[in-house]
Chain A
Amino acid sequence: MTRFLAKRIGQAIVVIFFVTVIVFLLLHSVPGGPAHGILGPKASPQAIAEFNREHGFDKSLFQQYWAYLSELFHGDLGESYTLNQSVASLIGQRIPKTLVLTGLSTLVALLVAIPLGVWQARRRKGLADYAVTTVVFVGYATPVFFLALILVIVFTQKTQLLPPQAPQTQSIAGLFADSRALILPVLAGAIATVAAFSRYMRSAVLDNLAEDYVRTARAKGASERRVVWLHIMRNSLTPIIAMLGYYLPVLFSGALVIESVFNYPGMGLLFWNAAQTSDYPILLGAVLVIALATVIGSLLADVLQAFVDPRVRGAIK
Chain B
Amino acid sequence: MTDTPTLAIEDLTVSFTSGRESVRAVDGVSLQVVPGEVVAVVGESGSGKSVTSMSALGLLPPTATTTGTVRVGGVDVTTLDGPHLRAIRGAEVAMVFQEPMTALNPAFTVGWQVAEALRLHIEDLSKKQALDRAAELLEMVGIRDARDRLGQYPHELSGGLRQRVVIAMAIACEPKVLIADEATTALDVTVQAEILDLLRDLRARFGMAMLVITHNMGVVADIADRVVVMYQGKVVEQATVEDLFARPQADYTKKLLASVPRLARGEGRNRTAPADEEVALSLEHLVVEFRGKGGRKNRAVDDVSLTIAKGEVLGLVGESGSGKSTVGRAAIGLLKPTSGSVRLLGEALTGAKGRDLRKLRRRCGIVFQDPASSLDPRMTVGDCVAEPLVINGVGDRAERVAALLESVELDAALRRRHPHELSGGQRQRVGIARALALDPQLVIADEPTSALDVSVQAAVLKVFLELQQRLGFACLFITHDLAVVGMVSDRVAVMNEGRLVEVGSRDEVLFDSREEYTRRLVTSAPVPDPADQRRRREERHRI
Contact = CB atoms under 8 A, between A and B. Distances in A.
Do A and B interact directly, with beta carbons closer than 8 Å?
Answer: yes
A216 B170 CA distance: 9
A121 to B, nearest CB: 15
B536 interface: no
A187 B117 CA distance: 43
Given A3-B294, A212-B97, A218-B59, A234 B105 contact: yes
B128 interface: no
Contact of A221 (B88, B99, B108, B155): B88
Contacts of B295: 3
Contact of B116 (A220, A235, A310): A220
B107 A314 contact: no
A311 interface: yes
A221 B87 contact: yes
B360 to A, nearest CB: 37
Identify the interface centre among A216, A222, A317: most chain B CB within 10 Å of its CB: A216
A123 interface: no
A220 B117 contact: yes
Contact of A220 (B89, B155, B294): B89
Interface in A233-288: 234-235, 238
Contacts of A316: 293-294
A222 B88 CA distance: 11
Identify the interface centre among A219, A235, A315, A316: most chain B CB within 10 Å of its CB: A219
A223 interface: yes
A211 interface: yes
Given A221-B86, A314-B156, A317-B294, A212 B103 contact: yes
A222 B155 contact: no
B71 interface: no
A242 B179 CA distance: 39
B169 A231 contact: no
B91 interface: yes
A216 B87 contact: no
Interface string A280-317: 00000000000000000000000000000111001111
A315 B294 CA distance: 9
A224 interface: yes
Nearest to A309: B107
Given A218-B89, A219-B57, A314-B156, A213 B104 contact: yes
Contacts of B86: 221-223
Interface string B278-301: 000000000000000111000000
B120 interface: yes
B201 to A, nearest CB: 22
- Bin the interface of chain A by size: 20 to 34
B424 interface: no
Contact of B107 (A3, A223, A235): A235
B486 interface: no
A215 interface: yes
B509 to A, nearest CB: 37
A216 B97 contact: yes
Interface in A169-226: 211-213, 215-224
Interface string B102-118: 11111110000000110
A123 to B, nearest CB: 13
B90 A220 contact: yes
A222 B108 CA distance: 15
B342 interface: no
B404 interface: no
Interface string B154-166: 0110000000001
A233 to B, nearest CB: 9
Given A218-B59, A314-B155, A213 B89 contact: no
B266 interface: no
B106 A221 contact: no
Contacts of B95: 219
Contacts of B156: 314
A213 B102 contact: yes
Given A212-B99, A212-B102, A234-B105, A220 B153 contact: no
A220 B108 contact: no
B104 A224 contact: no
A317 to B, nearest CB: 6
B102 A310 contact: no
- Which 3 pairs show the lowest CB-CB distances between chains A and B? A234-B107, A221-B90, A221-B89
15 contacts: A3-B294, A212-B99, A215-B97, A216-B169, A219-B90, A220-B116, A221-B91, A221-B117, A222-B120, A223-B83, A224-B82, A234-B105, A310-B107, A311-B106, A315-B293
Given A221-B121, A231-B107, 10 more contacts: A213-B102, A213-B103, A213-B104, A215-B59, A219-B57, A219-B89, A220-B116, A220-B120, A222-B120, A317-B293
Interface of B: 57, 59, 82-83, 86-91, 94-95, 97, 99, 102-108, 116-117, 120-121, 153, 155-156, 166, 169, 293-295
